Amino acid sequence: MISPYTIDRKTSRAFRLVKADMNRIFSILEQIQKDLAKMKGTDIEVADQLIGISKNIQKVRHETDTALKEAETAKEEAKEALVEAEDIKKYKPKPIVKTKVVYKKSSKSTKFVAARGGKKFHHPSCPFAKNILPKKKIIFKSKETALNNGYKECKCLLR
Ligand SMILES: [Zn+2]
């Protein structure tokens, strides 16, 4: 897909070229008109025809002027459309970012784990806690309970 920027750049270039061509045509027409004005005095019949040609030239110039103005308007509209497109991009809803789950060590629901016959109690996420065989696993609801049962805190709980 062509980006809006490319379209803008290409239309700008096209308008510059058209304008340059039109300016060249205008300068040629002006020169012709000047030449015609000089010739007017020579022959009345020729002069009348030349006046007609001159009027036609002016008509053409007016039409090209109008066409250029329309082209300018079109370009302005294209620019506005670009700005609008940019705004739409800006207001595009941001993707929902999942918030990180922060593990709370001191949460009320945290339980402590120890092995029957072991010396220390652990946080459930501690590798030692995970290694405890299910049949040996004891769960304490609080540190106090674990301490009262003769267990000591593992390093995993002191951090
Ligand atoms: Zn531990």
**pLDDT at position 9:** 76
Query: Does residue 96 lie in a domain region?
Result: no
Neighbours of 47 (CB within 10 A): 15
Pair (82, 125) in one structural domain? no
Give me the amino acid identity at 114: A
Pair (27, 67) in one structural domain? yes
Q: 26: CA distance to ligand 1 center in Å?
A: 90
Pair (35, 86) in one structural domain? yes
Q: 123: CA distance to ligand 1 center in Å?
A: 6
The C-alpha atoms of residue 56 and residue 90 are separated, in whole angstroms, by 51
Q: 136: CA distance to ligand 1 center in Å?
A: 15
Q: CB under 8 Å to 118, separation ≥6 — which residues? A: 132, 136, 151
**pTM value?**
0.34
Q: What is the number of structural domains in the chain?
A: 2
Query: Does residue 103 lie in a domain region?
Result: no
pLDDT reading at 93 higher than 70: no
pLDDT band at 4 (very low <50, low <70, confident <90, very high): low
Q: Domain span at residue 59?
A: 4-90
